[in-house]
Copies of this chain bind each other. A is one copy, B any other.
Amino acid sequence: MHALDILGDPVRRRILEVLAAGELPAGAIVDTIAAEFGISQPAVSQHLRVLRDSGFTTVRADGRRRIYAVDPAPLREADEWFDTFRGFWTQRLDALGTELTRGRRDV
């Protein structure tokens, strides 16, 4: 399953956005996501499972809490899919275009 297949869901994308700011216990994620999307705790938990299983997050136990964090590897893989197309919107003419554009757009 391609990483972009996993990201083709607004709830999962939002979970990752929330986690981008830092690790969080499942409960905190549920509070945010369930409120924003109007879905239940199990629904969020099932999305967390998909993200776990596909490697987008890591989890560690802390008592009865499960602390989730972003694992960037699959995100990077998904982002690399766009490499083929960056030439369409990159004005750089030098060979380093791709490298420079990625992650250095603020330079």
Contact = CB atoms under 8 A, between A and B. Distances in A.
B72 A89 contact: yes
Interface residues of A, number: 39
Contacts of A17: 84
8 A-B pairs with least C-beta separation: A8-B8, A90-B103, A72-B88, A79-B82, A86-B103, A76-B89, A20-B84, A75-B85
24 contacts: A2-B10, A2-B13, A4-B7, A4-B13, A5-B8, A5-B10, A7-B8, A7-B81, A8-B9, A17-B84, A20-B85, A75-B89, A76-B89, A79-B79, A79-B82, A79-B85, A79-B86, A83-B105, A86-B102, A87-B103, A89-B103, A90-B102, A90-B103, A90-B104
